[in-house]
Every structure is written in structure tokens, then in C-alpha cells.
Amino acid sequence: MRKYFQVFSLGFKKTMRYPANFFLGLISIIAVFFMHFFMWRSLYASSNGDPIFGYEYSEMILYMALSGIIASVISSGFAWEIHSDIKEGGLARYIARPVNYAAYQFSSYIGERTGYITFSIVLIVIVYVIGNLSVLSAEHFIRFLIFLFVLTNAFILNFFIYYAVSGIGFWMRESTGIIHITGMLGTIISGGVFPLDIFSKPIQMLLNGLPFSYTNYFSISVLLGKIKGIELLHGILLQWLWIGICALLARIIWSRGMKKYAAVGN
């Protein structure tokens, strides 16, 4: 356990060593938010302020602000490092050592994201308070605590999704395209670009049957109070189910991939 804590520490130090990357990431979040802000402002102006897809104007702006921040928290950038380890031989360093590669990557991932997570949660609190300034209550505080729990599940789920996807590199000469496509599609169908409510009911049912929707969209819906009660409990159980499924799938892919990796002499 101590070795993984050291990996976590090294990941955290690596992030702190390059603060420019952190602030550039923050600037990109702000830039994307303003792009969505002006787009939705125009749409609501043309609708005379009526709700769109069940969202009031203030709710939609709050959703877009939160989606950019949460996307930063559960970023899947580690998949590119795993791809590099597979293709450039870096994975060989871990084969003969008493190290679980998944635990190593997860520890490093948490360490590298700790600064982003801390700052992002502060931003979420600020955005959430501003968005509900006139109606803050004990219910909002409890909802926020539940949101943090749900977001933690989303963080773990997102890791296993992309850890499984990155294992495809064992069978492909170049898997960066798969990672890139999965990242783009994952951002859209997870509700990272706009709420999934904009889709028709059949498509919503399809997307809700995939693990991606239980990361960004589900987390924000909990925070906005659109999911509560039995529906909330059902969503959390599905998060746990998908974490188990994706973790098992990742284990199968990596177990078979490591045999192939050793067999070809990488």
C-alpha cells in the first residue's frame, strides 16, 4: 500500500511542477463555457425565456458551467500514457515487479488530478452557491454532499472505462484513434457538452443504458435536484454496477493482453 501512496505523491508533485498546464486547463474550461453561454442565451432569447428541454435559463447556464468543471475532474488523459507504455515498451518495467499496473495507474491518476479536483470542487461550490443564492437551505447542503459521493463514483467509473479502452492497444498497431474517438463520443453521450434531455426518449433510454451517462450527466442532475429519491438510489446502484462491469472487463482485456504482450517480446 505504501508504494501506491508514493506513486500518488509523485503524481501530485508532477502536477505541481507544471502549474502552467493547470491554468491553461482552467482557461480552456472558461473559454468553452462562454461559447455555450452565448449559444444558450440566444436560444432562450428566441424562446421568450420559456424552458428548453425542461431547463430554465438559469438551470441550463448552471449545467454548462458544472459540466466543464466536472469534465476536468474526471479527465481521461491517463489513457494516452498507458498507450505509450504499451507501444513503446514502458509496460515491461512493471511485469517483473510486485506492482499491480491498474493500481499504479489509478494512484498516479488520483495524484495528478488532486490539484484539479480540489480547485474544481471550490469552483463548483462557488457556481452552485451563486446559482442558488436566493434559495440556499439545508436541503441544498445535503444535496451537495450526495453529489460529492456520486462524483467520486463517476471518477472511479470513468477510470475503468478508459483503462479498459486503452487495453485495446495490445491488438492494434496504433490505438490512439480509438482513444480519441472514445473520448469525443464519451464527452457527448456523458452529457459533457449538453444535457442528455435534448435527445428523443428512445435515444435517452439507449444512452442511459451505457456507463457514460452515469459520470457527467448523472452527477450534475443530482446536484441540480432533477434526480432524487428512488431514482437517485437507482442511479447510484447502476454506478456501482457499471464500475463492477467495467473493472471486470478491464481485467479480462488486460489479462489477455499481457499474455500477448509478453508473447511478442515487447
pLDDT category at 218 given cuts 50, 70, 90 is very high
Euclidean distance between CA atoms 116 and 132, whole angstroms? 24
Give the single-character DSSP code of 183: H
pLDDT of residue 26: 67
Confirm if 81 and 233 have CB atoms less than 8 A apart.
no
What letter represents residue 52's amino acid?
I
The parent domain of residue 15 ranges over 2-263
- Mean per-residue pLDDT over the chain, rounded: 79
- Grid coordinates in use for 27? 482557461
Which range, 10-19, 89-98, 146-155, has the best average confidence (pLDDT)? Answer: 146-155
φ and ψ at residue 55, rounded to 5 degrees: -115, 130
- Provide the 10 A C-beta neighbour count for residue 226: 18
pLDDT of residue 16: 57
Find the mean pLDDT for residues 38-59: 81
For 2-18, write each residue's pLDDT tens digit.
665 665 565 555 655 55
What letter represents residue 95's amino acid?
I
What letter represents residue 158's amino acid?
N
pLDDT category at 265 given cuts 50, 70, 90 is very low
pLDDT of residue 217: 92
Of the ranges 96-100, 209-213, 216-220, which one carries the lowest mean pLDDT score?
Answer: 96-100
pLDDT category at 263 given cuts 50, 70, 90 is very low
Closest CA to 217 of 78, 57, 66, 39: 66
pLDDT category at 238 given cuts 50, 70, 90 is very high
pLDDT of residue 214: 93
pLDDT at 246 over 70: yes
pLDDT of residue 262: 55
The pLDDT > 90 percentage for the chain reads: 16
Widest CA span of the chain, in angstroms? 65
pLDDT at 37 over 90: no
- Grid coordinates in use for 125? 461550490
- Grid coordinates in use for 70? 466536472
pLDDT at 75 over 80: no
Q: What total number of domains does the chain contain? A: 1
pTM: 0.82
